[in-house]
Amino acid sequence: MLTGKRVLLIIGGGIAAFKSLDLIRRLRERGNTVVPVLTAAAEKFVTPLSVSALAAERVHRDLFDLTGEVEMGHIELSRSADLIAVAPCTADLMAKMAGGHADDLASTLLMATDKPVLIAPSMNVRMWLHPATQRNLTTLRSERILVVGPEEGEMACGEFGPGRMSETTDIINAMVPALGDGPLRGRHVLVTSGPTIESIDPVRYITNRSSGAQGAAIAEALVSLGARVTFVTGPSSVPQPIGVEAVRVESAAQMLDAVEAALPADAAVFAAAVADWRSAKESSRKIKKDGSGGPPKFELMENPDILATIALKRDGRPELVVGFAAETDDVIAQAVAKRERKGCDWILANDVSPETGIVGGSENAVTLISSDGVEEWPRMGKTQVAARLANRIAETLA
Ligand code: CTP
């Protein structure tokens, strides 16, 4: 899918630099232009000559290259690309990026660009797990830098763990969403995900067993088709999907506010397991046992139905509204009724009985219910469910 693009490839000084030669070849095979930049350290691993020969382009190496500045300033170099990829991205390059340094050509280009940036980190496992690198990673992610890898495996240094640069095809695949290409390009899709938590008092809350895995997979699948995705998520332990605009919330009320604020959207997928009830009066003090051995005295009230609120809107309703129906009994009949009641276009019904292992598991078995009828999908991984749903959304919006 990635073709006709101009990729500025910054090669950092790591043993994985040799894999960047393959990355150059594969990008060019697909009809892309690769403009290579070598850091001083990278030149210890690959030669400018081999990089230039494979790229069929001049290699940029020096910030104060007068010829370069006459022909094309470094600012323009950083902007003329569709995307900047840093592969391998060393711990030092990550630190420079996170710290905003600009003391050589690579770091200056990264500071000067207004284009998407994707990094493929590669380093020794201890360096990757070092708190400084992890801190830099968090900073870079928060700045919407896309990160692919590193993969786990045996490393050149003989140690085992995360640190290997991702494979060429994975890096290229990660570039597609970075460039916003695909059938959902120009479309905005809203996804809710994860559980919500509802405070009872300063130390207690009500929540549920949702992991947020299905919602995250859906968001990522939509991004990979080129959509701009607003991902409104309750507290979840699964990693934040790459390339989304994430809004983190806790309660159902906050989730509804975030959803309203994210509109307009072309489509909305409500995958969150919203807590149905919250405490009618959240106590600012810890509720104490009264010594009677009886149940605590607090009342619950129903939360707003976020899906129904959006699906039943007269103005500003997304063109396509998709809900889930998590059921344990009479799955299809309940889901059909739920679709009617909540006013959504599609509902994905799933059986969440404990024996299915779906809640908190990696697989899902869904049935798509729409005005066209009932369509049972085979049991598959949550990523596959997400891809299938994202494709259906793309077809429908087209
Ligand atoms: N949902 C929502 N807001 C709520 C409750 C549910 O947006 N307050 C959405 C969910 O994200 C899901 C759909 O509604 O897409 C159905 O959720 P589910 O838990 O199956 O249904 P409930 O409305 O909670 O109905 P019940 O618990 O009675 O089955």
CA distances from 366 to 273, 353, 375, 390 (A): 15, 13, 9, 14
Number of Cβ within 10 Å of residue 376's Cβ equals 12
Element (H, E) at 375: strand 373-376
Instruction: List strand residue ranges (DSSP E) for 234-285, in order.
Output: 245-248, 267-270, 277-279
Name residue 120's beta-bridge partners.
none
Res 66: pLDDT: 53
How far, CA to CA in Å, does 142 sit from each of 42, 139, 245? Answer: 27, 5, 10
Dihedral angle of Cα 323, 328, 333, 338, to the nearest 10 degrees: -30
Q: What SS3 state is found at 348?
A: strand
Q: What is the largest CA-CA distance in the chain?
A: 86
Which is nearest to 231 in space by CA: 180, 190, 261?
190
Q: Tell me the two tokens of residue 324.
A: 């889930």
Pocket of ligand 1 contains residue 272 by CB under 6 Å: yes
- Please, what is the Cα angle at 190 between 217 and 309, to 5 degrees? 125
Quote the ligand 1 centre to 239 CA distance (angstroms).
Answer: 23
For ligand 1, the distance from its centroid to the CA atom of residue 349, given in whole angstroms, is: 11
User: What's the distance, Cα to Cα, between the start and end of the chain in Å?
Assistant: 18
Beta-sheet pairing, 366-370 with 373-376: antiparallel
Output the pLDDT for position 1.
Answer: 63
Is 324 touching ligand 1 by the criterion CB < 6 Å?
A: yes
325 CB within 6 A, ligand 1? yes
CA distance 235 to 197: 8
Give the per-residue pLDDT at 233: 98
Instruction: Confirm if 319 and 340 have CB atoms less than 8 A apart.
Output: no
Closest CA to 390 of 166, 177, 239: 177
Q: Which of 118, 72, 80, 86 is nearest to 16 (CA)?
A: 86
**pLDDT attached to residue 67:** 59
Instruction: Give pLDDT < 70 ranges for the chain.
Output: 1, 65-72, 180
Q: Quick check: CB of 149 below 6 Å from ligand 1?
A: no
Residue 71 pLDDT: 55
344 noted as active-site residue: no
Positive or negative, the CA dihedral 28, 29, 30, 31 is positive
Count helices and strands (H / E) in the chain.
14, 21
What per-residue confidence (pLDDT) applies to 25? 97
Q: Ligand 1: which of 274, 309, 324 to mutate, most ligand atoms within 8 Å of CB?
A: 274
Catalytic residue of the set 53, 56, 157, 333: 157
* pTM for this model (two decimals): 0.70
Ligand 1 centre distance from Cα of residue 183 (Å): 29
| pLDDT value of position 69 | 58
Cα-to-centroid distance, 325 and ligand 1 (Å):
7
Task: Say yes or no: CB of residue 270 within 6 Å of ligand 1.
Answer: yes
For residues 275 and 248, is the Cβ–Cβ distance under 8 A?
no
